[in-house]
Amino acid sequence: MSTSTRTFSDGQPFIGLDIGGSCVKLGYVPDASTARLEHPLAAVIRDPSKSNCLGTEWGAKNAIRKLEWFGDSEHERAVYALWFLAPDFIGFAKRVKEDRELKPTPKIRVSATGGGALRLRAEIEEMLGVELLIVDELKALTSGWRVDAESLAESDGPVEYPALVCNVGTGVSLVSVGAAHGEYERVSGSGIGGATFWGLVQRLTLFTSFGDAVTAAKQSGDPGQADTLVGDIYGVDTSKAIGMPADLVAGFLGKLSAGKATDADVVAALLRMVTSNLGQLAVFQARLMGVNEVWFTGGFVLCVGERQEDSAGRIVRMALAEAVSFWSAGKIQTRFPPDALLLGALGAVAASLDALPQTT
């Protein structure tokens, strides 16, 4: 936490927007000078129950989050955050536009990150009535991660630097974060990420909900019905004789053409394939960097509002932890910041605050 305070501009709320390929995340830092600001974006998060702009489709029931971030105890400011599925965000933006047309409001500034911030910049600015200030995606991610991770230091132990952050969204970025503020480097990545998993699930099964697919895979799926295992090749007894577990995967989805796997089996195999690949990449990079833990973030890792034991996010995190443990022989730990999905949006807010003049 910073021990300095920042001078907030009158009438300007601090809003961060992270427009990803699957989810759009929005973070907001209210200030005394913005309490009476009449703009739909400020009103939505200040009191969502009174907003005309939120439809029934805006993410999970508990998507509105209040986080005590930024500043010391005397000048602490709350951050509110919510998320949308990408298609639903457009509907939200259209309702904001309609609200603004009924009650004209001045433009406000929004710090934005993610691929959609650049691709949809003109459209978003016009609909929301904002001026987008583009923040580098990795800068936003690492700024948000740093605050979120260090908030765990008291209960979970200090953060080790350099830190390896594996962000899993549509694709994957592995980022080395240094101890100095703003010090980071993308060191590796992969195109096998959340979009790969979900695209194959939709193509190969009848599931239409990510949560339903992953939950079914955990409850009734057997990945061995779709994957070719060592035991399928050598037999159980010979596998033992050559020192290889019979249930070790020899070829992902190798038995898919046999047609015996259920949809839940296929999803379980796909989840094992993607998380195994992610775990392997993360462990190899951790060894190169000489670190003993990997932080996983991104929409594939955590769905906001999920707190049940059998939630999709929890199931994915367990699968990632198992993969990292397997590839590292239990020597590298897996960590998850509590607000993994929101780090880009909240990091964009942090970037706005960092740009302000400071007083001590």
Looking up residue 94, the CATH number of its domain turns out to be: 3.30.420.510
- Please indicate, yes or no, whether residues 39 and 133 belong to a single structural domain of this protein: yes
Q: Do residues 191 and 75 share a domain? A: no
Q: Are residues 52 and 127 in the same domain?
A: yes
Q: Are residues 311 and 174 in the same domain?
A: yes
How many CB atoms are located within 10 Å of the residue 292 CB?
13
Q: What is the pLDDT of residue 158?
A: 82
Task: Tell whether 147 is covered by a domain.
Answer: no
With a cut of 50, say whether residue 305 has pLDDT above it: no
Instruction: Give, as one character, the DSSP assignment of residue 304.
Output: T
- Lowest mean pLDDT of 80-84, 290-294, 315-319, 351-355, name the range: 351-355
Q: What is the DSSP letter of 144?
A: H
Mean pLDDT of the 163-169 span: 94
Average pLDDT over residues 215-220: 95
Confidence of residue 63 (pLDDT cuts 50, 70, 90): very low
CATH number at residue 284: 3.30.420.40
Enter the tokens of residue 53. Answer: 């702009």
> What share of the chain has pLDDT > 70, as a percent?
78
Mean pLDDT of 228-238: 89
152 lies in some domain: no
Decide if 58 is inside a domain: yes
Question: Could you list the residue range(s) of the whole structural domain that residue 50 is in?
Answer: 5-142+343-359
Say if 120 falls within a structural domain: yes
CB of 308 within 8 A of CB of 314? yes
Spell out the residues 6+ positions from residue 329 whose beta carbon is closer than 8 angstroms to its own.
none
Predicted confidence at residue 36, as pLDDT, reads 57
- Give the list of residues 6+ apart from residue 283 with CB closer than 8 angstroms, or none: 294, 324, 327, 328, 332
pLDDT tens for 332-343 read 999 988 777 778
Residue 77 shares a structural domain with residue 190: no
Q: Where are the beta strands (DSSP E) in the chain?
A: 5-6, 14-19, 23-29, 65-69, 77-85, 108-113, 130-134, 163-168, 172-177, 184-190, 228-229, 249-251, 293-297, 333-335, 358-359
Predicted TM-score (pTM) of the model is 0.81
Q: Are residues 326 and 347 in the same domain?
A: no
- Residue 29 has what pLDDT? 65
**Within a domain: residue 232?**
no
By C-alpha distance, which of 323, 322, 277, 317 is closest to 298? 317
The answer on pLDDT for 76 being more than 70 is no
Is residue 115 situated within a structural domain? yes
327 in the same domain as 219: yes
Average pLDDT for the chain: 81
Q: Do 94 and 217 sit in the same domain of this protein?
A: no
Is residue 121 classed as helix, strand or coil in its secondary structure? helix
The verdict on 165 and 283 lying in the same domain is yes
Same-domain check for residues 100 and 138: yes
Note whether 340 and 302 are within 8 A (CB): yes
One domain, residues 25 and 124? yes
Is residue 247 in some structural domain?
A: no
Q: Is the pLDDT of residue 32 over 80?
A: no
Question: Can you tell me the distance from the alpha carbon of 227 to that of 238, in angstroms, rounded to the nearest whole number?
Answer: 19
Looking at the domain assignment, is residue 16 inside a domain?
yes
Instruction: Examine the domain organization and report whether 119 and 63 are in the same domain.
Output: yes
Tell me the C-alpha distance between 216 and 74, whole Å: 47
Domains identified in the chain, total number? 2
